[in-house]
A = this chain, B = another copy of it.
Amino acid sequence: MPYTFNTPEDQREMLSAIGVDSIERLFDGVPSEMRLGRPLDLPPAMGELELTDHLSRLAARNSPAGEKVCFLGGGSYDHFVPAAVDHLAGRAEFYTSYTPYQPEVSQGNLQAMFEYQTLITQLTGMDVSNASLYDGGSAVVEAALMAISATGRHGKIVVLGSVHPEYRDILDTYLLPLGVEVVTIDAPQGAADVADVAKAIDDRTACVIVQQPNFFGAYEAVDEIGRAAHGAGALFVVSVDPISLGLLKRPGEYGADIVVAEGQSLGTPMLYGGPYLGIMACRDTFVRRMPGRIAGETVDRQGRRCWVLTLQTREQHIRREKATSNICTNQGLFALRAAIYLSLMGPHGLREVAELCLRKTHYAAERLAAVDGLSLAFDRPTFKEFVVRCEGGNVEAMLAAATDDGFHAGVPLGRWYPQLEDCFLVAVTEKRTRDDIDRLAACLKSQTRTLATAHA
């Protein structure tokens, strides 16, 4: 039922003020031949009780993390979200306001944006951050577009095969129709070979895109790759896992020109993939090329410090057909969540989260590798994910069986990497306990046995 106010009496009064005799007449501007002459064919209205009931039933037919122990990763993670994040981001004044077009009544949002931007620069070691993009994937393509326009090189970009395969799909979708070549450097051993990367970079190359840690959880030789990119005048774009920066070198320290990230890990639930948070930070040089909004500091007429949307001449509503980005509504609420999350965590909290992920991931890798029939696909240290090979086994069947046993055990890799058809990706966050991991190992052990027997 609509939440409208107009009672029949109101309607009468309003119509008479307008000077028409029915609501129908207000639609005179819509020619009758264009009208839908029937009610929409949609299910009937529901009150709140029914709606809640209906959706609860639908929800009950899903198995969320928590109901199953979640070891899924690949860009979306079951990290812990402190209750204060939900509470504060749920404040109506944040939640039901919009883009701060009127800074005098939007200082809450603007200051939060400014704080978010600062936090992201602290986290990444970069000079500047925007106020958000859609998600980690579209942030990668925005970075590529930025690099193309900054370098004036419209010919090609180089991307490592160990970058999230969906992010690479997005690059293809956006760039191929524009005639930009997207050169992918395979990472058959779980990380790219620096020599392969260096070879692919030439003076047509706008940028080199690396993910650190990469899609398999492993580390790329970012120093050398960055040097190779810069040597050829290309920009060095790095996609990071923000949680990893509790422990890993910050991209600003190894020469990244543009840093992008999926910010979901910073205080947002998994939400079946979105809404999430596209993070983008860059060197000062590129600030006026950055897509999306930016809050800047200034003073009001009394000289009081305050914040406004700034550098707007970059934006689509100003540049129109000359724009290099079209983003308008972005992910303000999730930038806010990330700001709250990082404020709560602080340097030490974030480091502890990262350390727990690292330790548990190593423990899990050992435990799973010890299961007969399973092995680690790559002999490399990883951060919070690793790839398991299921010898001769049917990955789909094994994972389905694990689901029945109460585990979202891993992401099968065959759909993106045919050569890894017998592999799956396991992610371990700070929420997983030793017991969770031991039980997963036991479950997979019994699965490999059953499957082995079935095959025998």
Contacts and interface: CB of A to CB of B under 8 A. Distances in A.
Nearest to A352: B47
B431 A83 contact: no
A414 interface: no
Nearest to A84: B48
Interface in A73-102: 80, 82-83, 87, 90-92
Nearest to A79: B49
Interface of A: 48-49, 52-53, 56, 66, 80, 82-83, 87, 90-92, 430-431
A49 B83 contact: no
7 contacts: A48-B83, A49-B80, A49-B430, A52-B83, A53-B431, A87-B90, A91-B92
A92 B90 CA distance: 11
Contacts of A80: 48-49, 52
Given A87-B90, A87-B92, 11 more contacts: A48-B80, A48-B82, A48-B83, A49-B80, A49-B430, A49-B431, A52-B80, A52-B83, A53-B431, A56-B66, A91-B92
Contacts of A53: 431
Contacts of A52: 80, 83
Contacts of A82: 48
A384 to B, nearest CB: 16
Contacts of A91: 92
Nearest to A82: B48
A48 B52 CA distance: 29
- Which of A49, A87, A90 has its CB near the most chain B CB atoms (within 10 A)? A49
Contacts of A430: 49
A58 to B, nearest CB: 15
Nearest to A353: B49
A115 B81 CA distance: 37
A430 B48 CA distance: 12
A382 to B, nearest CB: 22
A226 to B, nearest CB: 35
Contacts of A90: 87
Nearest to A430: B49
A83 B66 CA distance: 23
A104 B232 CA distance: 67
Interface centre among A48, A56, A92, A431 (most CB of B within 10 A): A48
Contacts of A66: 56
A431 B91 CA distance: 29
Nearest to A50: B433
Contacts of A49: 80, 430-431
A260 to B, nearest CB: 28
A419 B283 CA distance: 83
A369 to B, nearest CB: 27
A337 to B, nearest CB: 16
A91 B56 CA distance: 25
Max chain B C-beta neighbours (<10 A), residue from A80, A87, A90, A431: A80
Contacts of A48: 80, 82-83
A80 B49 CA distance: 7
A429 to B, nearest CB: 10
A49 B82 CA distance: 8
A379 to B, nearest CB: 32
A430 B431 CA distance: 39
Contacts of A56: 66
A52 B53 CA distance: 26
A56 B66 CA distance: 10
A49 B81 CA distance: 9
Nearest to A48: B82
A185 B22 CA distance: 63
A344 B431 CA distance: 40
A8 to B, nearest CB: 15
A344 to B, nearest CB: 9
A439 to B, nearest CB: 15
Nearest to A49: B80
Contacts of A87: 90, 92
